[in-house]
């Protein structure tokens, strides 16, 4: 199924189950298939689970333009508005966490009752004079260089190493590569800047709904101190859950634990 944005892009989405809506935003350079474990689990436990492919990724339009966070957030708004989603819990993994934060910063929480940031890129990944603890730009330049030189091998190397911390099966790594190669070349390349150089600090301070932050303390992609720890300090009354020894890709490596923790959080609103 698809919704159409104001600039004509077609955004693919899945809509599973029935109940109060949970909307899942995926990471780079993946698509909504990366959420399949959590989507199935939550739909089986009484929630309507909506998961979309970000523009330029998966089955959505590979636009030449709009490969930045404001457009991603506005696309999410189009999805929620078109489906008239209300009382939603927004859950974002990695880059998707930035999408959730920017959506709330730009569109507010009129349709939203909860938020969850999972291994997420906010508040600000890039090292700058006013963000000295961030990740040096050379790290992201290396990803860009690898993407241009041989993006297929770059994705295989990410899956075998930092993304899953060397713990994922060959099947999981293959799924990562397959989803990554389904993203448009330009879209995935420009998204590197979108997730690394976007400052989400003002967006996080705008979040006024209960928020769960989950992050592994062995994350090699979004270091815990840069991501989850810093975000939880900026979001009012955020709850931080640390997965000891966990890598970045906990939607796969810790899928049972993550499903249980998300379900418990979602049920708090419904209690």
Please write down the HEC assignment for all residues of the chain.
Answer: CEEECCCCCEEEEEEECCCEEEEEECCCCCCHHHHHHHHHHHHHCCEEEEEECCCCCCCCCCCCCCCCHHHHHHHHHHHHHHCCCCCEEEEEECHHHHHHHHHHHHHCCCCEEEEEEECCCCCCCECECCECCCECHHHHHHHHHHHHHHHHHHHHHHHHCCCCCCCCCHHHHHHHHHHHHCCCHHHHHHHHHHHHHCCCHHHHHCCCCCEEEEEECCCCCCCCCCCHHHHHHHCCCCEEEEECCCCCCHHHHCHHHHHHHHHHHHHHHHC
CA angle 238, 90, 14 (to 5 degrees): 155
- Catalytic, 147? Answer no
Q: What is the mean pLDDT of residues 239-262?
A: 98
Q: What is the mean pLDDT of residues 57-86?
A: 98
Has residue 258 got a pLDDT over 90? yes
Q: What is the mean pLDDT of residues 130-149?
A: 98
pLDDT at position 218, please? 98
pLDDT at position 167, please? 95
Domains annotated for the chain, with CATH where assigned, are 2-270 (3.40.50.1820)
The percentage of the chain sitting over the pLDDT mark of 70, rounded to a whole number, equals: 100
Contact 176, 30 (CB under 8 A): yes
Catalytic residue among 25, 34, 89, 94: 94
Q: What is the mean pLDDT of residues 33-37?
A: 98
The two beta strands, 10-16 and 2-4, are antiparallel
pLDDT at position 100, please? 99
Question: Which residue's entry shows tokens 């909504």?
Answer: 32
Has residue 5 got a pLDDT over 90? yes
- Catalytic, 270? Answer no
pLDDT at position 156, please? 98
If pLDDT is split at 50, 70 and 90, which confidence band does 114 have?
very high
User: What is the rounded distance in angstroms from the CA atom of residue 242 to the CA atom of residue 224?
Assistant: 9
Catalytic residue among 180, 248, 254, 261: 248
Q: What is the mean pLDDT of residues 241-252?
A: 98
If pLDDT is split at 50, 70 and 90, which confidence band does 45 have?
very high
- Catalytic, 94? Answer yes
Has residue 271 got a pLDDT over 90? no
Catalytic residue among 75, 219, 252, 261: 219
User: What's the predicted TM-score (pTM) here?
Assistant: 0.98
pLDDT at position 202, please? 98
């Amino acid at each position: 199924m698809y919704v159409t944005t104001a600039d004509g892009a077609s955004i693919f989405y899945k809509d599973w189950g029935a109940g109060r809506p949970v909307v899942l935003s995926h990471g780079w350079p993946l698509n909504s298939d990366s959420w399949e474990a959590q989507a199935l689990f939550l739909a089986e436990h009484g929630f309507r689970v909506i998961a979309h492919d970000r523009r330029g990724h998966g089955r959505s339009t590979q636009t030449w333009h709009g490969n930045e966070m404001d457009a991603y957030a506005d696309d999410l708004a189009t999805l929620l508005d078109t489906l008239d989603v209300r009382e939603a819990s927004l859950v974002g993994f990695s880059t998707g966490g930035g999408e959730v934060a920017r959506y709330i910063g730009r569109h507010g929480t009129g349709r939203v009752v909860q938020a969850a940031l999972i291994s997420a890129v906010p508040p600000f990944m890039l090292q700058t004079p006013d963000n000295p603890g961030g990740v040096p730009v050379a790290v992201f330049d290396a990803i860009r260089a690898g993407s241009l030189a041989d993006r297929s091998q770059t994705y295989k190397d990410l899956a075998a190493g930092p993304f899953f911390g060397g713990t994922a099966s060959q099947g999981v790594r293959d799924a990562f590569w397959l989803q990554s190669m389904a993203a448009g070349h330009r879209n995935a390349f420009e998204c590197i800047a979108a997730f690394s150089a976007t400052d989400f600090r003002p967006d996080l301070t705008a979040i006024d709904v209960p928020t769960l932050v989950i992050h592994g303390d062995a994350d090699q992609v979004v270091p815990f101190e840069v991501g989850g720890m810093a975000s939880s300090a900026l979001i009012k009354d955020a709850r931080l859950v640390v997965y000891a020894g966990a890598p970045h890709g906990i939607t796969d490596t810790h899928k049972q634990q993550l499903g249980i923790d998300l379900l418990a959080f979602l049920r708090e609103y419904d209690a």
